[in-house]
Amino acid sequence: MNKKLAGIVKKAVVGCIAMAAVAIMLPSNAHGAEKRILEKEYADCQRFDVTSYGADKTGAGDSTAAFQKAVDYAKENSKNGAKAVIYVPSGTYTLNAYVVINETAYTIVCEDDTVIKSACAMWLKNNGTLNVKGGKWENKGDNTKTSNNMFQANAGTNLHITDAALANSYRAVFTRAATATLQNVTISGAFYAGAGASEKSTFTADNTVFTDCKMGVLASGKSRVTFNKITVQNCPDIGLQAIENSTMTVNESQVINNGSGYKPHKKNSKKREEKYRGHGIAASGNATIYVNNTTVEGNNQCGVSLSKGNVVVDNNCYIANNGRQGIGTDKKCKLTVKNSTIHHNGYNTKELKKGHNGIVIQDGSKGVVENCTISKSKNTGIWVSGKGSSLKIKNSILKGNKIFSISVETSSGRTTFVSDNCTYKNSKNGVSIVGNCKFKAKGKNKFKKTGGKRF
């Protein structure tokens, strides 16, 4: 062998050894989370692989202790000013208890095909911050009796989940005076709620799906919840609910086909699950909900329901094909509907004596409707009833509502009705006013192919 050939062979051998070393260092599925680790955001991070601490990637054994060790070592690493990533390779892992996250910031990165089976996975305490990327997180069994949350964030903590699937938990995410954000997440099969925000929590979900959960999301205790481009579907109790002075904003979203588990409740029932079941979006207990550029369709009872709550519907919302009402109010609510379509509601209600309308304003509630089209309600486009209830409607079209375009009635006290530059057409009756009503007509109100009162 001459020197030139010997040099070539030597280089080839060295290259093979180097390639073998790289193959040993990288997991077999290096295109997922490992590739993400090499990206700029993880370039300066030390990796803590849970399998290095004894995690069983077959799912047969309990990996809680191994995950906790990886978290604890990452915490020690951060004390030295270094950044760390907790890495979960491809495989199935079982967690029989919570992994506790506290006092510092952690990032957990999973491969796309990583499965973590646990009814209670991560518990954030003591100002801890957790960033979770990827993975399929699911209840390890069909245990609907547990009240554990898959991800629980206590006061002062921060939880961020992206590109993940969370399935079959009691609540997939629950915050108590904490901050949480979800992005590109699918939550399914929760047997109480997909997510819950309580005690002045701040909760945001973008491009997230809540599907086949008993309830999509519940906001309580003065929490602030924001949704952008989410889908809430096929939740048998209710889609979205805000109570207890909470504020919810729903932007560019779809709330569809919820409330299939509704059953007519007994009169004066005090059970919230009986009284408010069946709706797409609901506000009660002085909560406020803003709905913008959103479709609310095919829900069993009301598309939007208010009871001692406040709702603003604006910017090209489409509220259609809901079984009982498009929008329903009672008990001194405030409702504003602008620049939206309310169409074909009231055709599938199980309580035949209470429904069939596009919008209902009753029991002292106040309604403002502007620049809207309200059409093809089974009974009435807008129904106003009860002492102190009022409707101010402007620049709107009511067409094809079967019985009345608008019905205003009271047996005691007085109602208020102002019609400003509206068009009423193609209904059996235009406007019906019964009882003491303070009425005022403004602008040019037009009636076409309709009977009843004209002004």
Q: Going from the first residue of the chain to its last (455 residues), give the mean pLDDT of each consecutive group of 10, the final group possibly shorter.
A: 48 42 36 46 83 97 97 85 88 96 92 94 96 93 73 98 96 98 97 97 98 98 98 98 98 97 67 69 97 97 95 98 94 96 87 76 97 97 97 98 95 96 94 95 93 70
User: What one-letter code names the amino acid at 39?
Assistant: E
Q: Which residue, 3, 118, 4, 1, is CA-closest to 63?
A: 118
Q: The CATH number of 29-213 is which of 3.40.50, 2.60.40, 3.90.550, 2.160.20?
A: 2.160.20
As given in the structure block, the two tokens for residue 93 are 């892992």
Residue 107, number of CB atoms within 10 A of its CB: 20
Q: Is the backbone of residue 324 left (phi > 0), alpha (psi -120 to 50) or beta? A: alpha
3-state SS assignment for residue 6: helix
As given in the structure block, the two tokens for residue 230 are 């989410």
3-state SS assignment for residue 219: strand
- The helix or strand, by DSSP H or E, that contains position 275, with its residue range, turns out to be helix 272-275
As given in the structure block, the two tokens for residue 135 are 């993975």
Q: The CATH number of 289-455 is which of 1.20.1250.20, 3.30.360.10, 2.160.20.10, 3.40.630.30?
A: 2.160.20.10
Given a contact cutoff of 8 angstroms between Cβ atoms, the answer to whether 254 and 294 are in contact is: yes
For residue 10, CA distances in Å to 7, 20, 21, 149 come to: 5, 15, 17, 58
Q: Which residue, 389, 424, 372, 420, is CA-closest to 403?
A: 424
Report the distance separating Cα 23 and Cα 375, nearest Å: 65
Residue 352, number of CB atoms within 10 A of its CB: 7
3-state SS assignment for residue 16: helix
Residues 6 or more apart whose Cβ sits within 8 Å of residue 330: 306, 307, 360, 362, 363, 365
Residue found under tokens 């819950």: 196
Report the distance separating Cα 324 and Cα 352, nearest Å: 9
Residues 6 or more apart whose Cβ sits within 8 Å of residue 231: 208, 209, 210, 211, 253, 254, 255, 256
pLDDT at position 103: 87
Q: What is the DSSP string of 190-259?
A: -SSEEEEEESS-EEEEES-EEES-SEEEEE-TT-EEEEES-EEE--SSEEEEE-TT-EEEEES-EEES--
3-state SS assignment for residue 3: helix
Q: Is 79 exposed, middle or buried (0-12, 13-18, 19+ CB in 10 A)?
A: exposed
- The helix or strand, by DSSP H or E, that contains position 173, with its residue range, turns out to be strand 171-176
Q: What is the DSSP string of 22-76?
A: HHHHS-S-TTSHHHHHTSGGGTTEEEEEGGGGT--TEEEEE-HHHHHHHHHHHHH
Residue 78, number of CB atoms within 10 A of its CB: 16
Report the distance separating Cα 42 and Cα 48, nearest Å: 12
Q: Is 246 exposed, middle or buried (0-12, 13-18, 19+ CB in 10 A)?
A: buried
Interior CA angle at 227 toward 221 and 229, to 5°?
165
Kindly report, as residue ranges, where domains of CATH 2.160.20.10 are found in the chain: 289-455
Given a contact cutoff of 8 angstroms between Cβ atoms, the answer to whether 340 and 319 are in contact is: yes
Report the distance separating Cα 301 and Cα 234, nearest Å: 13
pLDDT at position 141: 64
Q: What is the DSSP string of 283-333?
A: EETT-EEEEES-EEES-SSEEEEEES-EEEEESS-EEE--SSEEEEEESS-
Report the distance separating Cα 313 and Cα 316, nearest Å: 9
Report the distance separating Cα 345 and Cα 279, nearest Å: 13
Q: Which residue, 83, 43, 91, 44, is CA-closest to 67?
A: 91
User: What one-letter code names the amino acid at 74?
Assistant: A
pTM: 0.89
As given in the structure block, the two tokens for residue 76 are 């020690």
For residue 395, CA distances in Å to 336, 344, 366, 391, 423 come to: 14, 20, 18, 13, 8
